[in-house]
Amino acid sequence: MSTGAVALGAERVSREFGGVQALKDVSFAVGEAEIVGLIGPNGAGKTTVLNAITGVDTAFSGRITFRGQDVSRVPAPVRARLGMARTFQRASLFPSMSCFENVAVAALAAGLSQTEARRRAEEAVERVGAGAVAQRLAAEVPLGTQRLVEIARAIVRRPTLMVLDEPLSGLEEAEVERVCRVIQELNAAGLAFLWVEHNTRAVLAISHRVIVLDLGRKIFDGGVDQVGEAKEVLDAYLG
């Protein structure tokens, strides 16, 4: 459950794409050191929310606050500097770099010295268990490994909030378990998570709280043990 201070706040966030109301007045908060799962059917608006939160999209209405600061109009790279990190629904590594370099370049972008960047990148790669493929070209490793490296790249700056868009899709069972364990370990070290995931079993297993979106609206926000009984959620999923 939320442990006091709020890391992230979304207040009445709405987004329209040429007549399609992708989000309508969505509000929620993520506490510091909380793991919040964001679920919902295809096209519910999950990625759209993440894009508003991380600044990939700034054409929404409403407000995004991050650690007490209004960041609604702050561009994505600046939000990254403030401590937000993310991964993408379509794994987006730098394909011309090795897995290790993908992480190291992010450490350099955080302003670290060469030696410190290398050390931190090694640490992050080990942490997600991608050490064995560190020197391989990112474009050539399996999707599951790419997703792990993406997480390593995201944590190397030591963010305070991680935003993950379907980190488990395309992963094998063992990799799913590994990613879930990594999330829990990082969370234990104080990192807050907002994650979108279709693997409901995994979401319910490790999240502290779940938010359900359907057709751009929030239809549920509460404990993982209640979501299965909520009528709106059953309706949305079972039609």
Partner 1 sequence: MNGSRRFLASFLPAAALCAVVALAALLFADAYLAQVAFLTGITVILVLGESFAVGNMGQLLMCQAGFYGIGAYVSALLEMHGMPPYLAPAVGITCGAVSGLVVGLAATRIRGHYLAIVTLAIGVIVEELLNNLQGITNGPIGLVGVPTFFGPLNAGNQADYIVVVWGAVIVVLGCLALLRESRFGWFLRAIRDSEAAAESIGLRIGTYQVATVTVAAAVAGLAGALYTNYAGLLVPDLFSYGLSAQILATAVLGGINSFGGAVVSSLVFNGVPQMAQVTAFYQYLIFGVVLIVMMQFAPRGLSQIGVYAVSLARRRLLGWGAGQPNAATVRRP
Rounded to a whole number of angstroms, the distance between the first and last alpha carbons of the chain is 30
Contact flag: residue 87 with Mg ion (CB under 5 A): no
Beta bridge partners of 47: none
* Shortest separation between residue 47's beta carbon and ligand ATP, angstroms: 3
Strand partners, 69: 66
Please identify which residue in 46, 120, 157, 218 interacts with partner 1, judged by CB under 8 A: 157
Q: Is 77 near partner 1 (CB under 8 A)?
A: yes
Q: Under the criterion CB under 8 A, does residue 60 sit at the interface with partner 1? A: no
What sign for the dihedral angle of Cα 140, 145, 150, 155? Answer: negative
The sheet carrying 69-70 orders its strands as: 20-31, 6-17, 61-66, 69-70
Over the window 37 to 76, marking each residue x when it contacts ligand ATP by CB under 6 A and - when it does not, the resulting string is ---x-xxxxxxx----------------------------
Comparing CB distances to Mg ion, the nearer of 47 and 187 is 47
Select the residue interacting with partner 1 from 11, 25, 29, 56 (CB under 8 A). 56
Using alpha carbons, select from 160, 225, 223 the residue that is nearest to residue 193.
Answer: 160
* Torsion sign across C-alpha atoms 30, 210, 126, 133: negative
Nearest Cα neighbor of 148 from 196, 180, 191 is 180
Residue 133, binding choice from ligand ATP, partner 1, Mg ion, none, Cβ under 5 to 8 Å by partner class? none
Q: What is the CA radius of gyration of the chain?
A: 17
For ligand ATP, the closer of residues 76 and 105 by Cβ is 76
Minimum distance of partner 1 from residue 122's CB (angstroms): 12
> Least distance to partner 1 from the beta carbon of 179, Å?
18
Site pattern 81..120 for ligand ATP (x: CB under 6 A): --------x-------------------------------
Query: Given the complex with ligand ATP, which of 52 and 121 has the nearer CB atom?
Result: 52
Check residue 54 for interaction with partner 1 (CB under 8 A): yes
Q: Among 24, 67, 81, 127, indicate the residue that binds partner 1 (CB under 8 A).
A: 81
Cα 78 → chain centroid: 17
Q: Which two tokens stand for residue 22?
A: 């992708």
Q: Sheet holding 192-196: strands in order across?
A: 84-86, 161-165, 192-196, 35-39, 209-214, 217-222
- The least distance separating partner 1 from the CB of residue 81, rounded to whole angstroms, comes to 5
Element (H, E) at 53: helix 46-54
Residue 47 makes contact with Mg ion by CB under 5 A = yes
* Residue 80 token pair: 């990254």
Query: Which CB sits closer to partner 1, 101 or 221?
Result: 101
Residues that bind ligand ATP in the complex, under the rule CB under 6 A? 17, 20, 22, 40, 42-48, 89
